[in-house]
Chains A and B, each alone.
Chain A
Amino acid sequence: MSDPFLKVRGLTAAFTTRGRDVQVLNGLDFDMAAGEAIGIVGESGSGKSVTARALMQLAPEGSSIRLGGSVTFQGQDLLQYSERQMQTLRGSQIAMVFQDPMTSLNPTMTVGAQIDDMLRRHKGLSARPARDRTVELLERVGIHNARRRADDHPHQFSGGMRQRVMIAMAISCDPALLIADEPTTALDVTVQAQILRLLLQLREDLGMALMLITHDFGVIAGMVERVMVMYRGDIVETGPVERIFDAPEHLYTRALLAAVPRLDAPEAKP
């Protein structure tokens, strides 16, 4: 039998801050099929974002991360990769979209130049074809007047448009896996709906796998086939999205779902 698309076994992560080790992932096991959409949901400190960073081997700024276990992606153990190999993989095979696009876009470069750069580095395109492809990508994510807007800097875009730029950059090299970490948390609710819809469409059109990390059960509900619920560095429950919502087994999942405020269920009012 062939290996699954992504196979994670005994994944541990520990941060070293001021000489002390803090273990934040306690040995995760999970698989992902090619093209599958999986959601990771949990509260702050659950380890959901660290899981994404561990797959990408990206440590938050000013810290170092120590990983253990194995991450087999398309048959290759990424934990055996050199940093150089990881750099090639990031962006081209696995791409990531963060909550705040300002932290991942370079404020001093036009957005077009940044996407061109990706295409030239990973796809070997020369300047002209790279820009044509950049404009195509910006149009694809719903940015009007894309050729002109490519010459704008990140701050000239609204929050929602900036997230679209970030998504255009993420899909620029046709990644097999897109990791989106709270991609809509900072956005207004009407903008959020548009971005979620865009992610769904892109997934359908490009056939890429999606790992969506969020604290919001509403966001996860319409986007994925399978859900992993995380709590303090462990996966406490995993299953098809319908099962998790309709018949949660773990007490923690039940408590989380019960706490979600609902549009149609007024309560708590004096």
Chain B
Amino acid sequence: MSAPLLRVRDLAVTFPPRRGNPAVRAVEGVSFDLAAGQTLGLVGESGSGKTTTGRAILQLQKASAGSVELLGRNLTTMSGAQLRGMRRHMQFVLQNPHSSLNPRMRISSILTEPLLVHRPIPRDQFAAKVDSLLEMVGLDPEVRNRFPHEFSGGQRQRIVIARALAVDPDFVVCDEAVSALDVRTQAQIVTLLADLQTRLNLSSLFIAHDLALVRRLAHRVAVMYGGRIVELGTAAQVYENTVHPYTRTLLDAVPVPDVQAQRKRLRNAAPPPVFPREYDPRHPCVFGEVHAESGTPEWHEIAPGHNVSCRFWPAGMTPGQ
């Protein structure tokens, strides 16, 4: 098997103590691989560490431990200059299409900016590139001289995507890229992203709180809680053969557009159990392993490619249930 496009190992981010508050371990022990052309969905609730994970992978947030290898090169140990050279391979599609486009810049300038920074092509090809980018995201190249405010939310999100793709990256991080959009626009952008990924063999980390949306786009899904991945597998494994109780709780809470099913869900919505943060590796975990003795990570393979953490299991719950 060839090396993955992106390899993340034991990634951790700790925010230093501030104003009398203790240090916060926002991300801990995050490991996964991402193959070329694949989408990994990263889901979790606010404070789970999913956005920080995305930023740490792009080196927009300093990791306190662990490694991030893109195209076989370790980003965490690179100098600033080396990292700048790597930035054209990885791009960020931001959350808010209203604030992430400079209102004073014309679309052509917005799309040319990354080309000026990274110089992937000679200057005399910039204009043609701008037109092809606009076409690629389904916009008429004639809009190149307009300003962001002349576009709808969905069109602006297309421009944000075009800008990220300007330097032909291998990997993009989409952080809640479609969350602010109306449902029909959202569906169109998701279709566009899926289509672009196939055409460009692009890999992406798709961070979102909407589990149904992630299901549409992700090949593999990682569920985060308390700064750690608690379950990772193919979309079908995580959604249909759910093992971790936190994943179960999340899935059960998603409102479904089906009257009978949703009424039943609400009636049965028990308060979520407590997912304990304390963990003692000297005691047998829910899978019966004493990690202090075995020295293995707190991470168990349930089926090929389907892994579950033995942390955050509510008292009395076991994997067999």
Interface residues of A (CB under 8 A from B): 43-44, 159, 188-194, 196-197, 200, 215-219, 221-223, 241-242, 245-246, 255-270
Contacts and interface: CB of A to CB of B under 8 A. Distances in A.
Q: Is the interface of B mostly helix, strand, loop or mixed?
A: helix
Given A218-B212, A259-B187, 14 more contacts: A189-B253, A190-B250, A194-B269, A197-B269, A218-B254, A222-B264, A256-B183, A261-B187, A261-B210, A264-B239, A267-B216, A268-B216, A270-B37, A270-B194
Contact of B182 (A43, A200, A262, A269): A43
Given A189-B209, A189-B211, A261-B187, A218 B255 contact: yes
Contacts of A188: 45-46, 209
Contacts of B293: none
Nearest to A197: B269
Residue among A43, A192, A267, A269 with most chain B CB within 10 A: A269
B212 A261 contact: yes
A217 B261 CA distance: 13
A222 B37 contact: no
A177 to B, nearest CB: 21
Nearest to A184: B255
Contacts of B211: 189, 263
Interface residues of B, number: 49
Contacts of B197: 270
Contacts of A245: 257-259
B195 to A, nearest CB: 7
Interface string B222-263: 000000000000011001000000000111111111110111
Nearest to A214: B255
B184 A222 contact: no
5 contacts: A44-B182, A218-B212, A221-B257, A221-B258, A263-B239
Contacts of A223: 266
B186 interface: yes
Given A190-B45, A259-B183, A241 B259 contact: yes
A242 B260 CA distance: 8
A219 B251 CA distance: 14
A259 B197 CA distance: 20
Contact of A219 (B153, B183, B255, B271): B255
A261 B213 contact: yes
Interface in B25-73: 37, 39, 45-46
A219 B213 CA distance: 15
Residue among B186, B198, B256 with most chain A CB within 10 A: B256
B215 interface: yes
B136 to A, nearest CB: 15
B254 to A, nearest CB: 6
Residue among B37, B187, B236, B259 with most chain A CB within 10 A: B259
A255 B211 CA distance: 21
B217 interface: yes
B194 A268 contact: yes
B183 A215 contact: yes
A263 B184 contact: no
